[in-house]
Chains A and B, each alone.
Chain A
Amino acid sequence: MSDDGLVLLQLHEPGETPVPHQDEAGLAVGIDLGTTNSVVAFSFDTEVEVLKDENGKALIPSVVHYKDDGSVVVGREAREAILENPDHVVSSIKRLMGRGLEDVKSLAGTLPYEVEVPPEGGMVRLRVAGRTLTPVAISAHILMAIKDRAEQAMLGKAVTRAVITVPAYFDDAARTATKDAARLADIEVLRLVNEPTAAALAYGLDNAVEGLYAVYDLGGGTFDISILKMEKGVFQVKATGGDAVLGGDDIDHAVAEYFLAQRQAGAAITAGEVKQALMTARVAKECLTGRQSGEWMIELDGIASRHSLTRDELEKLAAPFIERTIEICRGVVEDAGIDVSDIQGVVLVGGSTRMPLVRKRVAEFFGREPLSDINPDEVVAVGAALQAEALTRGSDTLLLDVTPLSLGIETMGGIVEKVIPRNTPIPVAMAQEFTTYQDGQSAMSIHVVQGEREMVDQCRSLARFVLRGIPPMAAGAARIRVTFQVDADGLLTVSAQEMTTGIEQHVAVKPSYGLSDDEMANMLRDSLVHAKEDMAQRLLTEAVVEARRSVLAVKSALGVDSDLLSDDERQAIDAAIAAVETACAGTDRDSVNAAVETLEESTKGFAEKRMDRGIRQALAGVSVERLDDALGGDA
């Protein structure tokens, strides 16, 4: 074990943690859950440590090997198993998070996996080593391995909470799937942070930069471009764009197709062979970053073939993908309402930005050399770790992010009516009114979609629900108000209300491409973890947090207004406080809640007297200052 781990441990000795109960809650880390590689980091006093394995490697390949004996191996070892045992290995699963069959790419007509789609449609399932697995479960296995890595590096301290990064361009289904995966891995998600925003945080804090910056992130599976305004600890995303299925994997694909086309086509290739060909293509692509040409071998169906590739040839294959990223950059600059020349620096993130052609095209488009004094593999995890610390221990920095995609609902003729346009700052709530189009219509089906196109079938369907019980009215008379709410994680909640009667329906959007509640419950029970106890534990923790808040509030009130109480009243309140404190030390949630209720009951009279006094003082103009002193922002 490295001495770094030891230092971290000492820093976290009990008594030194500024936030109470942090130890009970476990450590909070930052996780970059990548398509190709994952990284985990921990921050203390904004000193970030990227957590390494025993060989000093930071990158954990996001590859899972499902062995015949039922064991699951993640990382480097799993990646090596692709060559011998491709059918048992899953990689690049992030591309299928919250996605359907149409999103699985085939090579020479063969899919890399045996896939299944549930009869009602939705997220694909993979058949691997005799198991049927959802992308969520596979991601959960990666997250569990990351958690283990982190706990080892922290000398066995429990790691229970994390900031997990997601591509800025991830839609609601993919974000929900990521959160579900964390739940299965028994990790509490403090916040989903967009990858380019996390990178900007890491880069900006380190370099104390100010002004407009672009973050260009081309990884294995996804592309993001964000334009941020950075100033004095504020990171404000002006506009973001990208493609959730565009990355190094696509270039590997093009190279593999090119190699396979050179072989005299023999028998159809198998799913395992597809994976092997992709792996060789990737090795070739990465080699050509430092070299001009090379030769590689592919052995399929017992027949070996040699393939040479030059950097020029590779660049011809890669160019269409890279041009697409540049087109997206152009759109985002426009969306931000700025000129390319207003941008003061371009930060490169992601392994694919090592390709010379990417650097060249990015430099040409932005008219300046991109900044490359950061490690493009680790910067996202570093930002996530900084944010994890900020969320648990407090900080002065502020991340203001936006919705990457417009959210809307289907109206007549399959046309999308936008409710929240892309690049709106989050959290946000917006409402739109709709009406019925038939006399006496008693129900209205609401179809929520995400995307920029005008027609519903060209956008991603997020969810459908029906508002029932609309009283009979003439067509066009009902007023149905649909409210969209996006929280700080970028997750959507939709509610609908008939305004003339007040009938309301509230749905946390369960994405069409997500898991059903039943499925999630089964998976939790089937034990990836001891989820049941965890759930109880989490509820208890929440009740205790709430109880402690109540006690503190009563104590503060006693601090200013205890003269309003008789000795008897005071004793009753003190006793109730003591009872809550005793209950909090125990493990029974019900008795915690009951004690809190008793406390509230015993302080009712006190509260009334305090309100009376407050109003009397306000009348006399006495305490306006005291009541007001928490007003105001900076000015």
Chain B
Amino acid sequence: MPEGGAMTASIATAAASVVPCWSCKGPVAARALFCSVCGAVQGPGAIDHFSRLGLQPTFDVDLDLLEKQYFGFQRRLHPDRFAAKSPKERALSQSQATALNEAYETLKDPLKRAAYVLELKGHKVDLTACGTINDPELLMEQMEKREAIADASSVDTITKLSAEADSEVIACQCHISAALNAGEMGQAVHLTIRLKYLAKLAEEARTKKTRMTRAMR
């Protein structure tokens, strides 16, 4: 019976959106931070980083808003707010704050954020794998640039290279945003891997620049 089937599904959804509060045992919304009846802090639950910080799930995050949301949630959930509470509440607040930190650290960083947005859409990009580059074009480009940085022998040269590397990072981020908005997932994955290497290069250039500038003084 089609109608009965629909009914069951909606009961399941309703039941899933309401869970028992660990403290007063009454119903509480699955995503609630606190029980509205007894006030007890709830566990962090398994929600995505964007929802956790009350943000739209997009690569184009407003960083000021991200920080504001992060501070706002930490103000209510950080273990310092629960120091005088029961051990269970202290433990839950620690899990909540840990989850907030993970969300904040992931979304703050463009590379991690890009990979995360892709993961939410079902495309896994492994950022920790430090293996070889599969893409011959990217590989060539990387090798040339790395060489240029290694060869740079004046502060002027390294400063120029470092600025170039930085602007390429920014440009790549713009391209990722465009690809994601256009729904070109394959392209976005490709660009995210590229961003990883560009960011590494920019970091190398910056380190060398700092070292050379220091040696000058």
B-binding residues in A (CB < 8 A):
19, 190-191, 234, 236, 330, 334, 387, 390-392, 394, 396, 398-400, 424-429, 485, 487-488, 542, 545-546, 549-550, 552-554, 556-557, 559-561, 603, 606-607, 610-611, 613-615, 617-619, 624, 626-635
Contacts and interface: CB of A to CB of B under 8 A. Distances in A.
Contact of B36 (A334, A396, A542, A626): A626
Given A396-B75, A488-B79, A618-B14, A557 B24 contact: yes
A396 B81 CA distance: 9
Give the 4 A-B CB pairs with smallest separation, nearest first.
A614-B27, A634-B72, A607-B25, A633-B72
Tell me the interface secondary structure of chain A in the complex. Answer: helix
A603 B104 CA distance: 39
B54 A635 contact: yes
Contacts of A390: 80
B158 interface: no
Nearest to A550: B23
B207 to A, nearest CB: 8
B101 A427 contact: yes
Interface string B192-217: 00000000000000000010001000
Contacts of A485: 98
Interface centre among A387, A399, A556 (most CB of B within 10 A): A556
Contacts of A396: 75
Residue from the set A190, A399, A427, A628 with the largest chain B CB neighbour count within 10 Å: A427
Given A607-B26, A611-B26, A487 B94 contact: yes
Contacts of A552: 38
Contact of A631 (B14, B15, B29, B53): B29
B33 A391 contact: no
Contacts of A610: 25-27
Interface residues of B, number: 56
B87 interface: yes
Given A399-B80, A630-B34, A546 B54 contact: no
A265 B137 CA distance: 70
Nearest to A402: B101
A635 B68 contact: yes
Given A427-B79, A557-B24, A557-B37, A628 B29 contact: yes
A19 B84 contact: yes
A426 B73 CA distance: 15
Nearest to A623: B27
Given A428-B98, A556-B38, A631 B33 contact: yes
Interface in B78-136: 78-81, 83-89, 94, 97-98, 101-102, 104-105
A633 B54 contact: yes
Nearest to B128: A432
Given A398-B75, A633-B72, A635-B68, A607 B20 contact: yes
B27 A546 contact: no
Contact of B23 (A191, A391, A427, A553): A553
